[in-house]
Structure formats: C-alpha cells, structure tokens
Amino acid sequence: MVARKKKILLVEDEAVLRESVRDWLVDDGYDVEVAEDGEQALEKIKKEEYGVIVLDLRLPGIDGLQVYEEAKEIQPKAKGVIITAYPSKETRDKAKRLGLLDYLPKPFKVEDLEKLIGTAIEEAEEKKLAKKHLWLELGAVSFRLCTHNYECGSCAFAQDIQDRFGTISVIGEDEVTKFKEMPGSQRLCRYASVHFVKKDQSS
C-alpha cells in the first residue's frame, strides 16, 4: 500500500504505550520512529520528513501542541494527531486551530489511530499526484494515414516517430487486420506523436 511508505513519528513519554503503539503500527506495515519528548521530536523533524506526527499532549518540557506548531514551520505538509489522558475544550479548540487531524482521548483504540494515519497519508498522496499532473496539458496530437499497409518496418515515418518522446500507439496489433480491410482514406497510422506543454500553475 502506497500510504505506508511514509514515515510516522510517535512522540510519547510513557514507555509502555509508546512501544506498544509503535509495535502495532510496524506490524501492520508502517515505518515508525519514536521520540520521548518534544525536543527530541523536533530534532528528528529537522532531519527526517514525516507523513503524520502523533503527539501526546502532556510531554516533558514542550507540550504536544507546541511541538506540532513548531513542526509545521519545519514541515508544513506534516499531519498531526494529539493523544491525551487530559482532554479539555481549550486544548481541543487549539488543536483544531493548528490544523491537527484529530484529538484522541486516552484510552483509545490503536485501530482508530491507524485509520486516521492511513487516511491522512492516502489523501496527501492523492493531492501530490493531482498537483503533479496539473502542470501538464495536451498540447497537440498529430494523426496521419498509413501508406504502407501497416507494414511498419518498411515505413520511415513509423520508425522515426517511435524514436521520439511522447509517442503512443493508438491502434493495437489486434485492430490492424480490421483497418487493412478499410479504404485507404480511413487507414490511420498506428502511431500518434503526442506533445505535452507546461501549463501555467497560477491558472
């Protein structure tokens, strides 16, 4: 699964919970790193890119919300989940303002945390792919008629176009027989030269 290639950072000072959640996620295919406190987490965030950061609210030194706020400055695309045994409206509201995915009160089901992580990473991947393809648009497709009865090996044009970037076969081997039976004015060349141009990203 593509989503599981992204790294997860689990920031939890309670050793038993930290190790058990990490082991669960690792067993299910995620790449997980752990940190015991906020400072250690930020050091890791400066060196590694994480898809989702899971933070305990109450950590030694800097609390989880502060860590996430600083983490977003380093990695703006990182998603975050707060887990806490001390939920409150104030911290829940702040978590929402910071853009955290969710706020899970302890005790929580690891399955629920895993669903949040999986959904977040999948959405990030989909957005990344969509953004990647937005800057390409089809510039031109050139078609021409076949003049060699689909004997492409003896056609200089067919050889030339196959060597060019962006060439696609528009008529498959199985369809060639049918096209041979058609009038010459309807026998399209098997190949199309596709030209892509960059699209203005601001549009």
* Amino acid 186: pLDDT: 78
Provide the residue count of the chain.
203
When pLDDT is averaged across residues 144-169 and rounded to a whole number, the result is 74
Q: What separation in angstroms does the CA of 90 have from each of 70, 93, 95, 108, 201?
A: 19, 5, 9, 20, 39
Q: Which residue has the higher pLDDT, 184 or 133?
A: 184
Domain extents for the chain?
Answer: 2-133, 136-198
Mean pLDDT of the chain: 80
Q: Say if pTM beats, i.e. exceeds, 0.85.
A: no
d(C-alpha 44, C-alpha 33), whole Å: 9
Domain 2-133 has CATH 3.90.105.10: no
